[in-house]
A and B are shown apart, each in its own frame.
Chain A
Amino acid sequence: MLAVMTFEDITGDGCLWAVRYAGDPDNILAMTFEKWNDQDWLKDFFVANSCDLSSYFKITNLNQAIYDTISDAQELECVILDSISSDKLDSLFKPLENLRASEVLLGKEKAKGARNFRHDSWLRLYAIRFQRNSYLVTGGAIKLTHTMQEREHTLEELRKLEKVRNFLLSEGACDMDGFYDLIQNKR
């Protein structure tokens, strides 16, 4: 039976992984940045989501949105590279729910792009945290609305997080050592 997903070790040391969904040409981290640098894809996306762009970010110029995305993606990529080399992935990723009060096994996390001089970054990476400073990227999205539930493409990212987490749990994932370590060394 073909696996519904495989995993790629991004850093080579087991700290940052990315899911490669069945049928995809590459892992989701590489595919996400590829899209965020593809002007054809970005144009189609912002045309389809122009209402959110103007109502939430007050941006009506699609070229500005495309340029900001490419620029923010470059910045985010550099932050990831720096976080990898300095073992600071825990500083990059934050709990998906802003009000999460306690640590959970295989917690759902997000990484945001830094604010540019015009507006907050709309770029998001989504990941599962499985032990201290160790993450599995499940996807990424351009989030233009307040909540992820409001739009299909961000809702799909929630489904992917759940699907990957359930897959790991079904395989018997239970990092109790890492979990205790995580509680004791609260971020």
Chain B
Amino acid sequence: MKTIDILNKYKSDTASKWREEAEYRRRNARWLRYSAMIALQVRNRMSQIGMTQVVLAEKLGCTQQHISMLLKGKNNLTLETIAKLEEALDFDIIGKALIPVDGYAQDVTQSHRTYLSEPEQAPYGKNK
């Protein structure tokens, strides 16, 4: 008897979703890597300062299940979520990676600083 016949004889009723999932992971490889890296950094920081998922969830105003999902490193995090994580954990995740335009403030994590000088912030046509 051929092996292929045995495999077909004992073939599972459910269809495999691996290929579909693998294609998805390939199409989204870059941001999935970023998400994994962020989750690793957040885990590291949480253990560094002894913060639990429950406390982090409270600070972010979400559920502990949401934090648990986020820490799996598969979520497409918004900039808002990343910024909230940085604030709640008091550390930098992506801020330092954002290269500002030459001559402007370097520390984007400090909210009182701005990239634009006062005249530049004024609407066009004014202060001229």
Q: B12: which of A7, A11, A63 is its contact (CB, 8 Å)?
A: A7
Decide if B2 is an interface residue (CB 8 Å cutoff). Answer: yes
Decide if A150 is an interface residue (CB 8 Å cutoff). Answer: no
B21 touching A39 by the CB < 8 A rule? no
Q: Are A173 and B72 also in contact (CB < 8 A) when A29-B16, A30-B16, A30-B18 are?
A: no
| Interface size grouping (class) on chain A | 35 or more
B16 touching A10 by the CB < 8 A rule? yes
B23 touching A130 by the CB < 8 A rule? no
Chain A-chain B contacts (Cβ-Cβ < 8 Å), number:
112
Decide if A57 is an interface residue (CB 8 Å cutoff). Answer: no
Within 8 A of A (CB), among B53-72: 71-72
B11 touching A70 by the CB < 8 A rule? no
Decide if A27 is an interface residue (CB 8 Å cutoff). Answer: yes
Q: B16: which of A3, A27, A78, A106 is its contact (CB, 8 Å)?
A: A27
Looking across the interface, which residue of chain A has its beta carbon closest to that of B7? A7
Tell me how far the C-beta of B101 lies from the nearest C-beta in chain A, rounded to whole angstroms. 31
B22 touching A81 by the CB < 8 A rule? yes
| Most chain A CB atoms below 10 A, which of B7, B10, B21, B33 | B7
Residues of A within 8 A of B (CB): 3, 5-11, 14, 17-18, 20, 26-27, 29-30, 33, 37-40, 43, 63, 66-67, 70-71, 74, 77-78, 80-81, 84, 106, 130-131, 134, 136, 168, 171-175, 177-178
Q: Can you list 6 residue pairs at the A/B interface with Cβ under 8 Å? A: A9-B7, A14-B7, A81-B26, A106-B3, A131-B2, A173-B1
